[in-house]
Amino acid sequence: MKHKLLRVSVMVMATGAAIPAPAQDYYAGKTIDFVVGGNSGGGFDIYARAIARHLTRHIPGTPAIVAKNMPGAGSTKAGVHVGTIAPADGLTIGAVTPGAVTGPLLDDKPSGLFPANKVLWIGSANSSTRICATFERSKIKTVNDMLAHRTVIGGGSYGDATHDYAHMIRKTTDAKIDVIGGYKGTLDTTLAMERGEIDGMCGWDWSSAKSQKPEWIRDGKLRLLMQIGATPDEELTKLGAQPLWTFVKGDINRQIVALIVSQQAFQRPYFVHGETPMTYLNILRKAFDATMADPQFQADAAKMRIDVSSLPGATVQDLIQKFYATPRDIVEQARRAIRP
């Protein structure tokens, strides 16, 4: 009997490293890296840093949380780092764009990309409506102008909404869009709009536009042409932005747009490595939900003009799994729609 107990004790000691530490002790004195797949000052950076300031108070042990920018490949670089390289210890959180989530399904060469359907999702800070807009000095002031005249739209790299949505609109409507990619985030693109290098931007998140350029909206410098979402946004409707659906041609194109636009349900998603122990994931999910309901965070968000319409981690996990179960023929056509 003594020998059996000894063997059990040795086995417990040998596997102890894989057993999560008690919830009350694990995060005490530790630092969580919050890896943001976007440039400093961009919409995703603004959200992530706001969340990081409040999340620590809701994690037992109140660990330090340090936001670190890792832009590249439409935030896929950050996704790959957190999802495959960083330790699966609950001490690295990733913040990526929806384009990074959908990329492995829609990209032409999916190998080596962010394993979006294998990581563990903590939650999403908001769902969104996106816009297609031009600056006041552009001759393109309405959707009819965009349908009748060459319109130069600036965007980011593959996987970035401002790149992919511009091509989607070009291919599923009669809009005469020329897309110039390669801009480093929405702030870089707005500078190009202001300088007159381009007419505007499509796929710009409406909440980001309000937090980044409130004076453009206030002073009527931003021409709101289209709104892009599953359902009309009341605020944008009052401002004259027309639903993209009005201009999409044919049933197949509507299915393509519906698939691509579905990513907006998880507009600001956060995750950890797929092999992170569930004990730590549950701590982070609970803390995230508590942060979203925290009056201090909500006041901070209101002050920064960022919208919060959060989804819990389990819901995000389910939405992404359903996205990856889309029929192959629709996926193939959607893949072609977001490429030059």
CA distance 43 to 4: 58
- Mean pLDDT calculated for residue range 180-203: 95
| Predicted local distance difference test score (pLDDT) of residue 19 | 42
pLDDT of residue 5 exceeding 70: no
- Please provide the average confidence, as pLDDT, over all residues in the chain: 90
Statement to judge: residues 135 and 259 lie in one domain: yes
Burial 195-230 (b: 16+ CB within 10 A, else e): eeebbbbbbbbbbbbbbbbeebbeeebbbbbbbbbe
Beta bridge partners, 201, equal: 133, 154
Of 308, 334, 318, nearest in space to 107 by CA: 334
Percent of the chain whose predicted confidence (pLDDT) is above 70: 92
User: Within a domain: residue 20?
Assistant: no
CA distance 237 to 92: 39
Statement to judge: residues 242 and 157 lie in one domain: yes
Statement to judge: residues 229 and 272 lie in one domain: no
Statement to judge: residues 106 and 169 lie in one domain: no
- Mean pLDDT calculated for residue range 224-232: 94
Statement to judge: residues 227 and 142 lie in one domain: yes
The domain boundary, picked from 245, 263, 281, lies at: 263
Statement to judge: residues 91 and 143 lie in one domain: no
Range of the domain at 62: 27-127+267-337
Statement to judge: residues 246 and 164 lie in one domain: yes
Statement to judge: residues 78 and 99 lie in one domain: yes
Say what the pTM is.
0.76
CA distance 291 to 48: 12
| Predicted local distance difference test score (pLDDT) of residue 337 | 94
Statement to judge: residues 242 and 136 lie in one domain: yes
CA distance 137 to 150: 15
Q: Provide the CATH number for the domain around residue 235.
A: 3.40.190.10
pLDDT of residue 4 exceeding 80: no
User: Within a domain: residue 15?
Assistant: no
| Predicted local distance difference test score (pLDDT) of residue 8 | 36
User: Within a domain: residue 89?
Assistant: yes
Statement to judge: residues 254 and 291 lie in one domain: no
Total of domains in the chain: 2
Radius of gyration of the chain (CA): 22
Give 24-56 pLDDT, tens digit per residue: 689 999 999 999 999 998 888 999 999 999 999
Q: Provide the CATH number for the domain around residue 120.
A: 3.40.190.150
Band (pLDDT 50/70/90 cuts) for residue 270 is very high
User: Within a domain: residue 156?
Assistant: yes
Give 88-112 pLDDT, tens digit per residue: 999 999 999 998 998 888 887 654 5
Give 250-268 pLDDT, tens digit per residue: 999 999 999 999 999 998 9
| Predicted local distance difference test score (pLDDT) of residue 24 | 67
CA distance 96 to 276: 18
The domain boundary, picked from 263, 292, 315, lies at: 263
Statement to judge: residues 183 and 216 lie in one domain: yes
Statement to judge: residues 330 and 233 lie in one domain: no
Band (pLDDT 50/70/90 cuts) for residue 157 is confident
CA distance 328 to 244: 24
Band (pLDDT 50/70/90 cuts) for residue 20 is low
